[in-house]
Amino acid sequence: MVFHSLAFRFIHTADLHLDSPLVSLALRNADLADQVGVASRSALTRIVDLCLAEAVDALLIAGDLWDGGLSSAKTPRFLKQELLRLDEAGIRCFIIRGNHDAISKVTRELDPPSGARVFGPKAKTETFEAGGHLIAVHGVSFAEPVAPGSLLPLYPVAMAGAFNIGMMHSSLNGSVGHDVYAPCSVADLDAHGYDYWALGHIHRRSEHCGRATVVMPGIPQGRDIGEAGTCSVTLVTVDDAGAVVTEQCSVAALRFDRLRIDLADMSDWAEVIEALDAALRDIAHVTRHEAYLVLRPMLMGVTPLAWRIARDLDRLTEEAHTIAASVGGIWIDKLENGTTSQGAGITSQLPIDLVGIVMADLPNDPALLAALAEAARVLMHDLPPELRDLLGDDAAAVAAASGLLLAEGSVQIVARLGAGEVA
């Protein structure tokens, strides 16, 4: 369709997962607890701030506003206040429920202000005017936490003479780390006749521009290192010719990221510390005004210090924590060691290689794992009560943690043997 004057703008987001827990991170670093506790809510506040600053016509939230049954008692009131800010500015808000929302009692009881619409499990179309043109928003919410079949047949045909937006919570054709929900193909969406599809569910951003613009905005606030990198919402402008222009806008208050640090050919321990210091200060300078950073430095390269780095990774971690504290605005998740020694893999190292193979297989030995779990149980019994959950609060968790420690310890032992150390 063709517009003869400036049409309208809207912001598209999804998967806020309000009150989603980042407990493990908070437990590891008490300084982060306050930031972690409000990260998802801060993201919503920033989204509303962006709506007001850009003077958009609407905010679209394509599912998983909540995180299942988890909710602080203060969050429903907080959400109502944020929606009221939009309402007072004349900005409409359209919300569909995703699989997590279907579990949430809070979502079912939400009493939105007059300018907000929450779609139900039956397809509905909401219309409004912007820029002198008719906008039709079509939405379907999850009634249950699962949706094994496509929801696309529920959506009505495109409304003639309107700019048609479809809101859907869907896994599309599937994505690693995401269960299958309301599956459908981008080609099917493209052929349905709408102008824009506002999707949700998959936490990585993607965009398809064909007959329709199909956007998965990704999660606006990452929750762990698995959701590293830039998280954003999508600002959409429909110009006077009906063309759709999209722009990523970062709103995260807390950002997770990996940081590669090249230690190749370094032979002095001080050089390693200097490289770590420089890398942390550089990234802090570049991202200082974006968000708090939770970093996982990845030490890479071939270096004669590889064995010492493996052995003393705990010392390097403490160095990283100290540097991050001095810089400010950075927290260290953990250090990953990907360094190797110059002699690694040479056939003359056959005895060490054989030891490495044997050590690598230790975590697969059921008898050894059972013995470790029993030793851990005895150790936990002798610890003060407040430390007895250190490896987990049930037998399965303790066994899993013991296996992980065995795997990590094996790597360190092989590194020390490779350097010719004598225990």
Query: What is the pLDDT tens value at each position of the chain, 423 positions in all?
Result: 444 455 799 999 999 988 776 555 554 666 676 666 678 889 999 999 999 999 999 999 998 888 766 556 677 888 899 999 999 999 999 999 887 666 555 555 567 888 999 999 899 999 999 988 899 999 999 877 666 788 899 999 999 999 999 999 998 875 545 566 778 899 999 999 999 999 999 989 999 999 999 999 999 998 888 888 888 999 999 987 788 999 999 998 888 899 999 999 999 999 999 999 999 999 987 766 666 888 999 999 999 999 899 989 999 999 999 999 898 888 898 899 999 986 554 444 445 566 666 666 777 778 887 888 888 877 877 776 656 667 777 777 777 777 778 777 766 666 655 554 433
Backbone phi, then psi, for 170, in 5-degree steps? Answer: -155, 145
Backbone phi, then psi, for 184, in 5-degree steps? Answer: -165, 170
Collapsing DSSP to helix, strand or coil, 88 comes out as: helix
Collapsing DSSP to helix, strand or coil, 81 comes out as: helix
Supply 188's token pair: 């099917």
Only one residue has tokens 């990996």, namely 258
Q: What does the H/E/C string look like for 13-58?
A: ECCCCECCCCHHHHHHCHHHHHHHHCHHHHHHHHHHHHHHHHCCCE
DSSP codes joined into one string, 234-300: EEEEE-TTS-EEEEEEE--SEEEEEEEEE-TT---HHHHHHHHHHHHHHHHHHHTTT-EEEEEEEEE
Please state, in angstroms and rounded to a whole number, the distance separating the CA atoms of residues 276 and 366: 39
Supply 88's token pair: 């007072």
Please state, in angstroms and rounded to a whole number, the distance separating the CA atoms of residues 324 and 297: 11
Collapsing DSSP to helix, strand or coil, 238 comes out as: strand
Backbone phi, then psi, for 117, in 5-degree steps? Answer: -125, 130
Residues paired with residue 169 on neighbouring β-strands, in sequence order? 200
Collapsing DSSP to helix, strand or coil, 3 comes out as: coil
Q: Classify residue 243 by its DSSP letter.
A: -
**Which domains can be identified in the chain, with CATH numbers?**
8-252 (3.60.21.10), 255-418 (no CATH)
Please state, in angstroms and rounded to a whole number, the distance separating the CA atoms of residues 334 and 298: 9
Residue 202 and residue 175 in contact, taking contact as beta carbons nearer than 8 Å = yes
Only one residue has tokens 């005004």, namely 289
Please state, in angstroms and rounded to a whole number, the distance separating the CA atoms of residues 395 and 108: 37
Burial class (CB in 10 A: 0-12, 13-18, 19+), 368: middle
Helix (H) or strand (E) holding 191: helix 186-191
